[in-house]
Amino acid sequence: MSENLESVIRTICEGFNNDRTRMMDIVREVQETFGCVSDDAMDLIAAQVQTHRVEVESVVTFYAFLSKQQNGNVVIRLCDDIIDRMFGYERIRQTFTEALGIDVGESTEDGRYSLETTPCIGMCDQAPALMVNDEIFTEVSRDTVTEIVEQLKDGVAPERLRRRLGDGNNSSPLVGAAVANNIRKEGDVIFAPLTCGRALKKAISMSPNEVIRDVKTARLRGRGGAGFPTGMKWDFTRGAKGEKKFVICNADEGEPGTFKDRVILTERPELLIEGMVIAGYAIGAQEGIIYLRGEYAYLRPFLEDRLQNARNIGMLGEKVFDKEGFSFDIRIQMGAGAYVCGEETALISSCEGLRGDPKNRPPFPAQKGYLGFPTSVNNVETFCCVARILDQGAGWFSQIGSKGSTGTKLLSISGDCRRPGVYEVPFGITMNEVLEMAGGNGAAAVQVGGPSGSLIGPDDFGRTICYDDLATGGALMIFGANRNVLEVAAYFMDFFIEESCGYCTPCRVGNVLIKERLEKIMEGKGEPSDLTYLEELGAVVKSTSRCGLGQTSPNPVLSTLKNFRSAYDALVKEDQPFQPTFDIQKALGEAKTIAGRPSMHFAE
């Protein structure tokens, strides 16, 4: 065990007061420093923060960006979500493989490079995309890959790689990212001009209950997709007994096809911060946390700067805007690659330095959340809506949108359309209008709400986007007539298998079984009874799973079975009295090679 390792780990742990609830920060920093969290490192961390080694291992093996095995100094992560696959992922992978001599999942012998894949990194509107350590590259071509590899081999550090900077704050020195905002339509709530601090000043001139009343009057519902009334959530949290209370911003947008929070964080961080402080005032919290997904680490220095700026002008810190008795500050908690952490109780587990397992409910976070204290977890966009509601008035807000769904919604649009990007639209807009706007005419299918949502066809394009019809966190993936909807469903099932936390039986096992049967059908070996089998299996997983991930994970298959039945019918053959579920010749392959002859019993 090297002395260096020991002293560095001691320093890292001390940097977080040897507090084991800051385990995520500790192991992230160890991973960044050494390229892994080795057996030795886990022993040292456990000793330093006085926990058990297996507790550290439990965290390290949960998150995709942490590893026990040594990674290369430079980790290249190719985004392999369905949109990236449609727009050239395979080409990019091949080019890297040729240039580095390693395949996905491998590291070069000199320990300099690792090549990995990762699900959606929030860049679907500029696919294909990849990460080199924390640096993002989008609309990547073979030439970009060659250029990246040449520079890396010349010793250029990832953060110094040449890139074409994006628009807006993407080109500010603190972000410096080759990411485009692609804001295609600005609405009145999120992207309208902002007078910083006005909404908060108004809020603190009112009583906390009056602030909550305004949010209720505006009929604001959560923008993450579930649509729980925000005012009610705050009421519960305010009313719950607790020495301390917490506000958490869910900036873990991991639903494939969603990237609108990335644009808010880049262009409207002030609106978000203001919304969080208002929430803190309303529920009686002193501390806020922004849980930022690991893939957005490149935004962290910029967001830290904006938080500091808010402190400088008195919006954060002791006595916010000189308000007696109200202090509030915000810290950023980095994630480390786990989709399930977008589930609010899993997100809280992660903030507490644990595996991202969802918690049992009840108790709900409003009663017992972060570290056991009453906590309100809200989406990035929701906080922004709150700030605007306080600024412009609840009546103004509730007149935008439709009756049950007030305000605007940010849509993340990607796939087969001419104008992918972020659109701020009033609720109540039809899918046809959306497709027209994005240049996605001729779409054969649209995935509404990411993999956990549903895939709809042209018969449903007259439906409206709102909580009572097509409810969505905002992800719309458009597929043209040349795309195979079963491949889309199969990819999404792989995604859920990879991202399930594994806590409960139906999600851990059921999704693997669904994928197995879907593959059988796609190989042309299916029969009509397999479709019933899938429907029944899907119902078990949906009904008995413990959290929202498992309760929605069969949707890709169930919604395609419902809306694209003909794609399945075309593949399944009549029920046979006997249908092999495996290829006997393939299974005998090794034996035939050893025997040097074909099978006597199973003729080819």
Partner 1 sequence: MSENTITFEIDGVEVQGTAGQTIMQAADAAGIYIPRLCAFDGLLPYGSCRVCTVKVNGRFQSACTQPIAADIIVENDTEELLEFRRNLVDMLFVEGNHFCMFCEKSGDCELQALAYRLGITAPKYPYMFPDDRNVDASHPAVFIDHNRCILCARCVRASRDLDGKNVFQFVGRGPEKRISINARARLVDTDLDATDKAIDVCPVGAILRKHVGYSTPVGKRKYDHAPIGADIEANKH
Residue 348 is given by DSSP the state: H
Q: Assess 185 for contact with partner 1 (CB under 8 A).
A: no
Structure-token pair, residue 471: 């409810």
Q: Assess 195 for contact with partner 1 (CB under 8 A).
A: no
> Which of 10, 53, 300, 592 forms a contact with partner 1 (CB under 8 A)?
53
Q: Assess 540 for contact with partner 1 (CB under 8 A).
A: yes
Least distance CB 91 / partner 1 (angstroms): 29
Least distance CB 54 / partner 1 (angstroms): 4
- From the list 543, 457, 561, 461, the residue with the least C-alpha distance to 506 is 543
Q: Assess 167 for contact with partner 1 (CB under 8 A).
A: no
> Which of 58, 151, 172, 217 forms a contact with partner 1 (CB under 8 A)?
58
> Which of 113, 191, 370, 503 forms a contact with partner 1 (CB under 8 A)?
503
> Which of 144, 367, 500, 559 forms a contact with partner 1 (CB under 8 A)?
500
> Which of 444, 513, 522, 588 forms a contact with partner 1 (CB under 8 A)?
513
> Which of 545, 552, 555, 560 forms a contact with partner 1 (CB under 8 A)?
545
> Which of 312, 327, 529, 543 forms a contact with partner 1 (CB under 8 A)?
543
> Which of 25, 29, 55, 295 forms a contact with partner 1 (CB under 8 A)?
55
Q: What is the rounded distance in angstroms from the CA atom of residue 375 to the CA atom of residue 366?
A: 5
Q: Assess 583 for contact with partner 1 (CB under 8 A).
A: no
Peptide bond into 506 cis (omega under 30): no
Structure-token pair, residue 91: 């080409």
Question: Would you call 77 helix, strand, or coil by DSSP?
Answer: strand
Task: Find the part of the chain contacting partner 1 (CB under 8 A) among 47-55, 112-120, 165-173, 583-591.
Answer: 47-55
CB atoms within 10 A of CB 46: 17
- From the list 370, 376, 339, the residue with the least C-alpha distance to 353 is 370
Least distance CB 544 / partner 1 (angstroms): 4
> Which of 269, 506, 526, 548 forms a contact with partner 1 (CB under 8 A)?
506
Q: What is the rounded distance in angstroms from the CA atom of residue 20 to the CA atom of residue 353?
A: 7
**CB-wise, 66 or 199, nearer to partner 1?**
66
Q: Assess 255 for contact with partner 1 (CB under 8 A).
A: no
Least distance CB 227 / partner 1 (angstroms): 17
Q: What is the rounded distance in angstroms from the CA atom of residue 402 to the CA atom of residue 335?
A: 35
Q: Assess 579 for contact with partner 1 (CB under 8 A).
A: no
Least distance CB 58 / partner 1 (angstroms): 5
Q: What is the rounded distance in angstroms from the CA atom of residue 407 to the CA atom of residue 354?
A: 36
End-to-end CA distance of the chain: 58
Q: Assess 217 for contact with partner 1 (CB under 8 A).
A: no
Q: Length of the chain, please? A: 604
Task: Find the part of the chain contacting partner 1 (CB under 8 A) among 133-141, 297-305, 385-393, 535-543.
Answer: 535-543
- From the list 127, 122, 162, 125, the residue with the least C-alpha distance to 146 is 162
Least distance CB 585 / partner 1 (angstroms): 19
Task: Find the part of the chain contacting partner 1 (CB under 8 A) among 211-219, 326-334, 367-375, 533-541.
Answer: 533-541
**CB-wise, 469 or 530, nearer to partner 1?**
530
Residues 315-354 as x/- pattern, contact with partner 1 by CB under 8 A: -----------------------x----------------
Q: Each residue of 570-600: b (16+ CB within 10 Å) or e? A: ebbeeeeeeeeeeeeeeebeeeeeeeeeeee
Residue 421 is given by DSSP the state: E
> Which of 97, 133, 171, 505 forms a contact with partner 1 (CB under 8 A)?
505
Strands of 95-197 (E only): list them.
Answer: 106-107, 113-118, 130-132, 135-137, 183-185
Q: Assess 512 for contact with partner 1 (CB under 8 A).
A: yes
- Which residues, 6 or more positions from 197, have their beta carbon under 8 angstroms from its beta carbon? 274, 313, 315, 321
Instruction: Kindly state the helix (H) or strand (E) to which residue 1 belongs, with its residue range.
Output: none
Structure-token pair, residue 42: 């886990």
**Packing angle between helix 555-563 and helix 528-544, nearest 10 degrees?**
140
Task: Find the part of the chain contacting partner 1 (CB under 8 A) among 24-32, 417-425, 429-437, 499-507.
Answer: 499-507
> Which of 497, 522, 572, 588 forms a contact with partner 1 (CB under 8 A)?
497
CA dihedral of 77, 11, 353, 254, whole degrees rounded to 10: -20
Q: What is the rounded distance in angstroms from the CA atom of residue 604 to the CA atom of residue 591?
A: 14
> Which of 355, 368, 388, 525 forms a contact with partner 1 (CB under 8 A)?
355
Q: Assess 510 for contact with partner 1 (CB under 8 A).
A: yes
> Which of 299, 546, 559, 563 forms a contact with partner 1 (CB under 8 A)?
546
Q: Which long-range contacts (CB under 8 A, 24 or more apart) does 362-368 make?
A: 364/236, 365/237, 366/233, 366/236, 366/237, 366/240, 367/236, 367/240
Task: Find the part of the chain contacting partner 1 (CB under 8 A) among 184-192, 274-282, 292-300, 508-516.
Answer: 508-516
> Which of 502, 524, 528, 598 forms a contact with partner 1 (CB under 8 A)?
502
> Which of 50, 195, 581, 593 forms a contact with partner 1 (CB under 8 A)?
581
- Which residues, 6 or more positions from 382, have their beta carbon under 8 angstroms from its beta carbon? 220, 222, 223, 224, 230, 275
Decide: 472 and 379 in contact? Cβ < 8 Å. no
**CB-wise, 157 or 591, nearer to partner 1?**
591
In angstroms and rounded to an integer, the radius of gyration of the C-alpha atoms of the chain is 25
**CB-wise, 356 or 450, nearer to partner 1?**
356
**Residues near partner 1 (CB under 8 A):** 39, 52-55, 57-58, 61-62, 338, 355-356, 360, 362, 497-506, 508-510, 512-513, 516, 536-537, 540, 543-546, 581
